[in-house]
Structure 1
Amino acid sequence: MIQQKKAIVLGGTNPHIELIKQLQKRNYYVILVDYLENPPAKKYADVHIQESTMDQETVLKIAAENKVDLVISACVDQANITACYVAEKLGLTKPYTYDLAHKITNKGYMKKIMVKEGIPTTKYVYLEQNQNIENLELRYPVIVKPADACAASGVKKANDIKELSVYFEEAKNVSRTKSVIVEEFFTGIEVSAYCFVENGNARVVMISQRMSVIEGEKKVLKCYATVTPPNISKKAYEKIEVVADKIAKAFGLDNTALHVQFLINGDDIDVIEFAPRVGGGISYYTILQKTGFDIIGATIDSYEEKKVKLYLSDDGCFYSVNLIYGLPGIFDHLTGVDELINEGVIEGVFYHKTKGMEIGSDRASAGRVAAFLVKGITKEEMYKKIKTAIDRIDVIDIDGNCIMRKDLFLGNLDETSAIQ
């Protein structure tokens, strides 16, 4: 009988449900580490330990006590640092060094290398805790973001020095190192390029256009949908492939997933940021449906230091991931989704919240309840299915109230993610 291996999965997010399932198929006993009491992936793991994925020493202790064979995170930046830290301490396999994982999650370091290597990116200033924000020599409006935070936490658009002063303090408080990036605002379509680095060469697997809005008094940036393929020029697409490869070579990446965010204006492109990991949300599932490439399985191979052979196809269809947001409350359940799946209107629904979790409004991730995927032979069919789904799905709170944000969805085929 083959002895069962042990793996720690860092983070109980929805994509890690698929990660856990695939690890179990590979004969791993899976220990999930997540600070939440009931994260979406909890019920799929063999055991859940309620600790922070960013507490490196605690995760190291858990790994050592359980004599694990693997510590992995597929799509959480800060958890990737912990995974590589623990792997190095215990002599386990990993996709890249702890030093590289730590450096790349700092947007100041990332920007510095990109500028040095001629990778197109917006003009920026890197500010540490006590630096002066006056006279930055940047053109307003500017984007303010923590240098080392996850996702869109603390990211704001400032139109003048007064707003910059407020958002700088907010971003600094989100940052672990109290450091902030301020960069010039670049108007355009935002896209995510999902890549894999094979034999030192980055290849684009899929590109999606992100639809976003900035709303509320706190000016929270919310992505409400993605569309694949994006409405960009052939030249822009070619530039994305070239730049993704330059990033892989500039940062010494190989045999790893690579997620790069771009702003596109005509044929011009600018890199927002990147991470050597799988994209968030249900991009892994969209990639599998669209191209046939299993990027979660490839990530496990990457962590096990097994060479990945890239295989791609294109089914020619249009896909849209649609985020379901709720008004503030306590989540109970969704209605309408099972029928929509059975009727072929949606391909599947993926939960960000479990029953009893709070729905907030102070940041984008706090308001996300779930996401559903729509597939169409044409854009028109895709849009029609989205409208049908939005009309029939609802978010129900613990008191039986309907609290879905029906106003936040892909309303027409001409929308772009240029933030106004």
Structure 2
Amino acid sequence: MESKRLMFLGANLVQTPIIQMARALGYVAISCDYLPDNPGHRFSSKYINVSSVDMEAVLKVAREERIDGIISFASDVSAPTAAYVAEKLGLSGHPLESVEILTHKDRFRDFLRENGFACPKSKGYTEVDEALSDWGNHVGPLVVKPVDSSGSKGVIMVNSPAELASAATAALGYSRSRRFIVETFVAMQGTQIIGDGFSVDGKLVFSLYGDHIFDSRTGGQFAVQGGMFPLDCSGRGKDLKQRVDAEVQRALSLLNMKSGAYNIEARLGIDGKIYLMEIGPRNGGNFIPELIKYATGVDLTYYTIMAALGEPCSDLKQTEAKGFWTYYVIHADRAGVFAGIDVDDDFRRKHLEDMRLQVKEGEEVQRFANASAAIGVAICQFETRGQMAECMKCIDQHIRVKLN
């Protein structure tokens, strides 16, 4: 019997594990993007140089390759392409219209508002002057975001019209559709909630959430330094996870989502309401699926492959984390030439579970402001929540970036 053929949109460092798994399971893995040096291509059965956001070009290749499934792993930008191709070829996938809503911040905010979810006041724009003319209609502080970017790229908080003009111009530079959104900053209790979930036939059957950590010292107000798992509900109610799950499930049901993974960001507002900030129709980046497997034994990468092929995922069940886990986005606090990583021997022995780098020695790195300046990711484990929290406050002293 001929092996089933899977197409993967993207093959960067965090997308490499699913390509490797597909090959290990005996499938033909076809990797597609316009970056031939991406590391995942070394592990695929075949590489095709085509932009993962060019829907018609990818559809043409998919037909020629007679694919049985298509996956946008850890990438919002190519998720609409995956949904489009799946829809055109009658493959397993989510509705294209729903994926478009989830991957465009202005449309997602409109969806939330129209369906009675807690949602910050927001408006989308294509012109800077239009946003400036609306300044008096917004309640600050405000956040400016490209509608179709990820990894905190182009996300800036503003407190004046001058800051808005600068931020909107920057956001447009990160937006493929040349659109940006201005929204009221959601003040929250505790930290932002981050995690991945998975639905089977539209039902959210698994989720693991943690606490987002941001590194404002490097100049990026929304630069994600990492996440601590599982979620700390202290002072926010023991039912916090269940409340987030309920809001996510309501959104998935309204959008008629099928089987697949989601990267979820949420906040518990100071008003006590759950705010869904993002539901990305794909697995999380920063090796969150690997962290989940370490913490729970559940391999969402495997189930993502099964869902794309239309195979049953009914054996996936909610499983709680054992121990305390973090992912840490390794980064530099200044620009320079990367000269390697020093890890304390004691820290490596006790806590470091995995570390993967996407920058080679001798390559230039930038001061960390968003995901594009990440050097790599480390996954660490701890015995207690307190130990984890204390370590994360000074983790750059345990995992040190060397620059020339």
- TM-score range (shorter-chain normalised) is 0.7 to 0.9
1:42 aligns with 2:18: no
Mean Cα displacement is larger for which, 371-380 or 198-207?
Answer: 198-207
User: Is 1:334–2:345 an aligned residue pair?
Assistant: no
1:355 Cα deviation after fit:
5.5
Tell me if the contact between 1:374 and 1:385 (Cα under 8 Å) persists in the aligned partners.
no
Q: Which residue of 1 aligns with 2:283?
A: 278
Provide the residue aligned with 1:85 in structure 2: 84
Opposite residue 328 of structure 1, the aligned amino acid is A
Name the counterpart of 1:194: 196
Paired-residue identity, %:
21
Change (3 A) 1:16 1:92: farther
CA distance in 2, matches of 1:28, 1:350: 25
Rate the CA distance shift 1:383–1:103 in 2: closer, same or farther, 3 A.
Answer: closer
**C-alpha distance in structure 2 between counterparts of 1:51 and 1:329, whole Å:** 32
Match of 2:305 among 300, 307, 325: 300
Which segment drifts farther, 277-286 or 196-205? 196-205
| Residues in 2 aligned to 1:222 and 1:391: alpha-carbon distance in whole angstroms | 19
Q: 2 CA distance for matches of 1:173 and 1:269?
A: 31
Cα pair 1:10 1:32 within 8 Å, conserved = yes
Query: Can you give the 5+ residue segments of structure 1 that lack an aligned partner in the other structure?
Result: 402-420
CA distance change for structure 1 residues 362 and 369 in 2, over 3 Å: closer, same or farther?
closer
Q: Which residue of 1 aligns with 2:101?
A: 103
Q: Show structure 2 runs of 5+ residues with no match.
A: none
Could you list the per-position Cα deviations for residues 281-314 of structure 1 after superposition, in whole angstroms to 9, with x for gaps in the alignment?
1110111122222111111122112232222322
Partner of 2:295, secondary structure, is helix
TM-score (norm 1): 0.84
Q: What's the C-alpha RMSD, in Å, of the aligned pairs? A: 2.7
* 1:323 paired to 2:332: no
> Does the CA contact (< 8 Å) of 1:227 and 1:320 recur in 2?
yes
2:352 equivalent among 330, 343, 346:
346
Number of aligned residue pairs: give it: 394
Which whole-Å CA distance do the structure 2 matches of 1:56 and 1:229 have between them? 37
> How far has the Cα of 1:79 moved from its partner?
1.1
How far is the alpha carbon of 1:23 from its aligned partner? 0.9
- Distance change in 2, residues 1:30/1:329 (3 Å): farther
Q: Is the 8 A contact 1:196 1:204 kept in 2?
A: yes
The residue that corresponds to 1:243 in the other structure is: 247
What are the superposed Cα offsets for residues 136-157 of structure 1, whole Å, 9 maximum, x if unpaired?
4221110100112233121110
Q: Write the distance in 2 (CA, Å) between the matches of 1:25 and 1:194.
A: 24
Cα displacement (A) at 1:319? 1.0
1:156 is aligned to 156
- 1:210 corresponds in structure 2 to 212
Equivalent position SS for 1:77? coil
Kindly indicate whether the alpha-carbon contact (under 8 Å) linking 1:197 and 1:256 is maintained by their aligned counterparts in 2.
Answer: yes
What's the CA shift for 1:261?
0.9
How far did 1:160 drift?
A: 1.4
Deviations 1:296-343 (A, max 9, x none): 1111122112232222322441111111103434546434489965x2
* 2:19–2:44 CA contact under 8 A, matched in 1: yes
Q: How far apart in 2 are the matches of 1:153 and 1:202?
A: 29
After TM superposition, list the pairs within 5 Å mapping 1:21-100 onto structure 2: 21-89=20-88, 91-100=89-98
Does the alignment pair 1:227 with 2:232? no
1:54-94 deviation per Cα after TM superposition (whole angstroms, max 9, x unaligned):
222332343334333332112201111122223334x1523
Once the two structures are superposed, the pairs formed by residues 114-193 of structure 1 within 5 Å of their partners are 114-129=112-127, 131-136=130-135, 137-188=137-188, 189-193=191-195
Secondary structure of 1:371's counterpart equals: strand
Q: Give the secondary structure class of the aligned counterpart of 1:131.
A: helix
Report if the CA contact (8 A) 1:103-1:109 is conserved.
yes
- Contact 1:38 / 1:354 at 8 angstroms: preserved in 2? no
CA distance in 2 between partners of 1:216 and 1:290 (Å): 29
Q: 1:109 to 1:243 in 2, by over 3 A?
A: same
Q: Is the 8 A contact 2:83 2:96 kept in 1?
A: yes
| Paired amino acid for 1:307 | P
Q: What's the TM-score once normalised by structure 2's chain length?
A: 0.87
Distance 1:355 1:80, change over 3 A: farther
Q: Is the 8 A contact 1:203 1:244 kept in 2?
A: no
CA change 1:237–1:345 in 2 (3 A) is closer
Q: Is the 8 A contact 2:210 2:229 kept in 1?
A: yes
Q: Point out the more displaced range, 369-378 or 234-243.
A: 234-243
Q: Tell me if structure 2 keeps the 8 A contact 1:292–1:311.
A: no
Amino acid at match of 2:167: Y
- Shift of residue 368 of structure 1? 0.8
Q: CA separation in 2, counterparts of 1:270 and 1:31?
A: 37
In structure 2, do the counterparts of structure 1 residues 332 and 223 end up closer, same or farther at CA, with 3 Å as the change threshold? same
8 Å Cα contact 1:87/1:94 also seen in 2? yes
Secondary structure, in 3 states, of the residue corresponding to 2:176?
A: coil
The superposition leaves residues 357-385 of structure 1 with CA deviations (integer Å, 9 ceiling, x where unpaired) of: 54223741232111111111212443566
